[in-house]
């Protein structure tokens, strides 16, 4: 819901969906009307490097600037992410 605000701050949201096939990811994006990029990792390649239930704030150089250890159905809120982006300015 706050995707446009994040984009105005010069940031991008990219989500990695690990729960189903590429077709399932497309269906999830449509069903939930997700505006940000949603990629599929049905082979669990990203999971080997990053926790599938975490949120990362990564700067333009690829440096992790913040990390939230989320639960499957309880993610960090957009307002907290926006506040962290603003602290980096």
The structure's pTM equals: 0.76
10 by Cβ neighbours in 10 Å (0-12 / 13-18 / 19+) ranks as exposed
Q: Is the pLDDT assigned to residue 43 strictly greater than 90?
A: no
Q: Which long-range contacts (CB under 8 A, 24 or more apart) does 9-18 make?
A: 9/82, 9/85, 9/86, 9/89, 11/85, 12/36, 12/37, 13/37, 14/38, 14/39, 15/39, 16/40, 16/41, 16/46, 16/50, 16/52, 17/41, 18/42, 18/44, 18/46, 18/47, 18/52
Q: Tens digit of pLDDT for each residue in 47-62?
A: 777 777 788 899 889 8
pLDDT at 75: 84
Residue 83 has pLDDT above 90, yes or no: yes
Q: What is the three-class DSSP state of 24?
A: helix
Task: Convert the pLDDT of each residue in 4-40 to its tens digit.
Answer: 999 999 999 998 888 778 999 999 999 999 999 999 9
């Amino acid at each position: 819901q706050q995707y446009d605000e994040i984009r105005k701050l010069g940031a991008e949201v990219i989500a990695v969906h690990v729960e189903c096939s590429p077709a399932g990811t497309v269906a999830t994006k449509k069903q939930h009307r997700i505006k940000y990029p949603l990629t599929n990792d049905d082979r669990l390649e990203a999971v080997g490097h990053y926790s599938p239930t975490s949120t990362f704030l990564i700067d333009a150089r690829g440096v992790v600037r913040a990390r939230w250890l989320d639960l499957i159905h309880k993610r960090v809120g957009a307002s907290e992410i926006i506040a962290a982006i603003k602290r980096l300015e």
